[in-house]
Structure 1
């Protein structure tokens, strides 16, 4: 029977109090007596409590059991062999130089790119002239504050500047829906699983010497049952899960079909008075914010159910923060750990049997449907959707309405095809909600840059002509963008409101003209110390810009420059 931590703690306190009053022999006999009382495991427990070797404790036990006189010997203070670190002052620095070559030692250390086990460290130190054993190396490392540690997954790579703001926005949306009694679900596709006698991570209890036999390689058997694609819906309020196990492809149609099944079987019964549905999803995959088919399928679901479906996506690179990951999927993985998923029925039953002490229940069912890939969704299809993009990051946050979109009052901008379309009026694009600065500040910025832009324009044309101007200034073809428009389009571009193609549509030019304007104006803004902060609004079509301006309210904008 092992000795509990409580008993070891009591021994450590006892030894700490009494050892200063005892000599070496008395300490050894006392540890031996305590070890004999504890029985099996007592020697190790006493050694750890006293911070000595087990050999010392075992020697004390042997002396007590022998009963000979005198019971052991007493060395004078300071007797015995000296520690290796005391005999060799260069041992400790040499060891630290091997363990941390970048900070304390030679970057070209032979152990830089190898596993630094205590045996390999001891061998290298011995080669350098420091005779030391692996156990001594381990003791020295522990005294220096080292321990065996694994990597911890915490670094998320480059973070989006609006990452935390998006999390706060999602939290506000979820609180608003839940406070009004509306459903809030978290959705995602779990890792695809191979169906068959393949090894599954983890261990489970089995008779000794009788492990489950699985394949040596995880190559998919084309003649076998294939893969399983679990798509999960986690109801945050009710703490319930719904998983559709697909057998075909992980597409947007499959994702929305799983949500539809959840709503028909559970959602509409759990929330009979619901008029809205909030979905939190990852930024990528079949339910990503760039996936057009996802929005098309959700629009069809909204029309079927009569719900206003709001979607809030996690910022890029933060999928592990989605609720479904650690409240549903993690428990499913623990439930079937070590068990080969030999059939779809095994997968469905294992998921359905998942529970937690906090009351989680899960329903699972097989979806044998076929979901085609490569379905194209055009710009006109997206424009016709009854979709409202939120003012804060409309690319991440949007609502699909069950009613058709009213486009009678929305101004449309013709798409350039072949020849550029006529240049639309750009007065509305000077709105402070888009530029991030009051109109007087924008006019002042244009006045500051006009002379420099004209000078750059003439210098460029001089290089093109190869000589001085022949015709009078102002003769010939007119610029497609005025100086004010070049400044405005650069400000809008730096605000990251949309793609270059969208801005080209708004100004009635092609993308090459817009790119040249940005390359001219952007360095001048840097010279003037003018920083244009990015906007949280995102647009895809001119109709989105028009709808945004129609709903905008005049606000006080602090000048950016």
Structure 2
């Protein structure tokens, strides 16, 4: 009778360090050493099947040695499911291919395509496959988990690319001769108060910043309206934080304050100011108040104001978006914007390794909505429209046939 105790002890000591092949060879070696009845004894000691020990003995006796990087000989192990189930892969790809999303016959047309959902759908079609194998098959077919990506801009204007060429040529010309060029826009309005702000910040473990569960406006605090200016030549930003309405008057007042505080000192010999802006919002290409306020500003500064609007659906290409606003968002991440002072300080502290500097101020002025600009006032503007899309590209000169002093009304008028 073979004593299996030492065999079991040796196996338990080595098992954690052996792969399938190693365990098979170990068991075969022990069985060969034990002699008659060795296979049965080793099987009892290790739990390895007698047939597996027999294969190990065959390998030991074989003239050709198994490649050390392999666990089994080529063709060993159970057949792959895709070999046993001829339609498995094709049916799986039919479920996950993007074009199948709109197929009314697709079982997953209106459901999330998780591995578990796919496994259930495959079972309905008669396939015996689990979520693990489905995941392996998808990876083999170059599928991966991916989020949505914002790339579609909708139907673009036929002259979109031509407008960018026109705009870029104007900007390059202005920068080449030292004239100021600014990109302007309104950043997303922010609720003021102890609301959640996206992002993560380092804090003591178990002590997250506590904020409100629901994002309901606090009337006493309102919303912050950051209107920004990015100076392309100087890599510098200016932001006015408004406390009420995002109007054209507020936008132009921000440009005015930037010029008074920074622009005229930075560009003392300027003969024109070039502005690039989106086609909508408080600096929209069709907004009469925007043009009237720019006319007033041109009169005050005594220089031409050249305006180029980005074509429809391309606002993300505005320089200010990725040269200024993106860094402001990163700087105040995970910090509740509990007051206007906090907002101003966070924006003013924004800087980058490439030298971006930002100045920020609070603008508490009331900017009423619904100011009407009459046809007569529009006729009195001294505006020259470019031959190419004059509604997007125009110059407002520092002279007008009449001063515009019509009182504000509550009606909205744009054009």
Shift of 1:130: 0.9
Query: Which secondary structure state, in structure 2, belongs to the residue aligned with residue 168 of structure 1?
Result: helix
Q: Specify every segment of 5 or more residues in structure 1 that has no aligned partner in the other structure, as ranges.
A: 1-55, 407-539, 541-561
Q: In the alignment, does 2:388 pair up with 1:392?
A: yes
**Partner secondary structure for residue 289 of structure 1:** coil
* Paired position in structure 1 for 2:111: 114
- 1:138 and 1:370 map into 2 onto residues whose CA distance is 58
Which residue pairs with 1:246 in the alignment? 242
Q: Which residue of 1 aligns with 2:38?
A: none
Contact 1:101-1:112 at 8 Å conserved across structures = no
Quote the residue 1:357 is aligned against.
Answer: 353
Q: Residue 188 of structure 1: which of 185, 190, 200 is its match?
A: 185
| Match 1:170 to one of 145, 167, 172 | 167
Deviation at 1:58, TM superposition (A): 6.8
Give deviations 1:522-553, integer Å, cap 9, x for gaps: xxxxxxxxxxxxxxxxxx9xxxxxxxxxxxxx
Check whether the contact 2:236–2:357 (CA below 8 A) recurs between aligned residues.
Answer: yes
Distance 1:380 1:393 in 2: 23
Q: Distance in 2 between matches of 1:390 and 1:206?
A: 55
Task: Report if the CA contact (8 A) 2:116-2:131 is conserved.
Answer: yes
**2:295 equivalent to 1:295:** no
- Local SS of the residue matching 2:328: helix
CA apart distance, 1:245: 0.4
- 1:208 is displaced (CA, Å) by 2.1
> Residues 258-269 of structure 1 correspond to what in structure 2 (within 5 A)?
258-269=254-265
Asked if 2 retains the 8 angstrom alpha-carbon contact of 1:255 and 1:287, the reply is: yes
Q: How has the CA–CA distance of structure 1 residues 339 and 76 changed in structure 2, closer, same or farther, with 3 Å as cutoff? A: same
SS in 2 for 1:113: coil
Give yes or no for the alignment of 1:91 onto 2:50: no
Equivalent in 228, 233, 237 of residue 237 of structure 1 = 233
Deviation of 1:343 after TM superposition, in Å, equals 0.8
2:74 alignment partner in structure 1: 77
Could you tell me which residue of structure 2 aligns to residue 314 of structure 1? 310
Displacement of 1:304 in angstroms is: 0.7
Conserved? CA contact 2:101–2:109, under 8 Å:
no
Does the 8 A contact of 1:101 with 1:109 survive in 2? Answer: no
Q: Does 1:60 align with 2:19?
A: yes
Partner of 1:336: 332
Could you say what secondary structure the match of 2:233 adopts? coil
The correspondence of residues 120-131 of structure 1 with structure 2, limited to 5 A, is 120-131=117-128
1:74-95 alpha-carbon deviations (Å, 9 max, x no partner): 6443221222111211211111
User: Residue 188 of structure 1: SS of its match in structure 2?
Assistant: strand
CA contact (8 A) 1:96 1:105 kept: no
User: Is 1:305–2:301 an aligned residue pair?
Assistant: yes
Give the distance between the partners of 2:98 and 2:282, measured in 1 at CA.
45
Distance 1:261 1:90, change over 3 A: same
Which residue number in structure 1 is paired with residue 281 of structure 2? 285
The aligned residue for residue 68 of structure 2 is: none
Match of 2:194 among 182, 193, 197: 197
Q: Distance in 2 between matches of 1:237 and 1:346?
A: 28
CA-CA distance at 1:207 after TM superposition = 2.0
**Alpha carbons 1:174, 1:184 under 8 Å: kept:** yes
Q: Give 1:8's aligned residue.
A: none
Higher relative contact order (CA 8 A, sep 6+): 2
What is the aligned partner in structure 1 of residue 408 from structure 2? none
Against the structure 1 CA distance between its residues 102 and 387, is the aligned structure 2 distance closer, same or farther, given a 3 Å change threshold? closer
Check the 8 A contact 2:100/2:109 in 1, yes or no: no
**Equivalent-residue separation in structure 2 for 1:345 and 1:101 (angstroms):** 48
How many angstroms apart in 2 are the aligned matches of 1:186 and 1:233? 6
Distance 2:28 2:379 in 1: 100
Give the root-mean-square deviation of aligned CA atoms. Answer: 2.5
Change (3 A) 1:144 1:61: closer
Contact 2:182/2:276 (<8 A) preserved: yes
TM-aligned CA distance change 1:248 to 1:155, over 3 Å? same
Question: Secondary structure at 2:359's aligned position in 1?
Answer: strand
Q: 1:18 maps to what in 2?
A: none
SS of corresponding position for 2:390: coil
Alignment length (residue pairs): 350
Equivalent position SS for 1:215: coil
Q: Distance in 1 between matches of 2:310 and 2:74?
A: 66
**Contact 1:97–1:104 (CA under 8 A) maintained in structure 2:** no
Return closer, same or farther for 1:62/1:341 CA change in 2, 3 Å cut-off.
Answer: farther
* SS state at 2:194 partner: coil
TM-score by length of 1: 0.59
Q: Look up the SS of the partner of 1:242 in the other structure.
A: strand
Once the two structures are TM-superposed, the CA of residue 220 in structure 1 deviates from its matched residue by 0.6
Q: Is the 8 A contact 1:299 1:385 kept in 2?
A: yes
Could you tell me which of 214, 217, 220 is aligned with 1:217? Answer: 214
Structure 2 distance, partners of 1:161, 1:151, is 26
State the alpha-carbon separation in 1 of the partners of residues 276 and 16 from structure 2: 60
Are the structure 2 counterparts of residues 162 and 382 from structure 1 closer, same or farther at C-alpha, using a change threshold of 3 Å?
same
Tell me, yes or no, if the aligned pair for 2:92 and 2:122 is still in contact at 8 Å. Answer: yes
How far residue 349 of structure 1 moved from its aligned partner, in angstroms, is 0.9
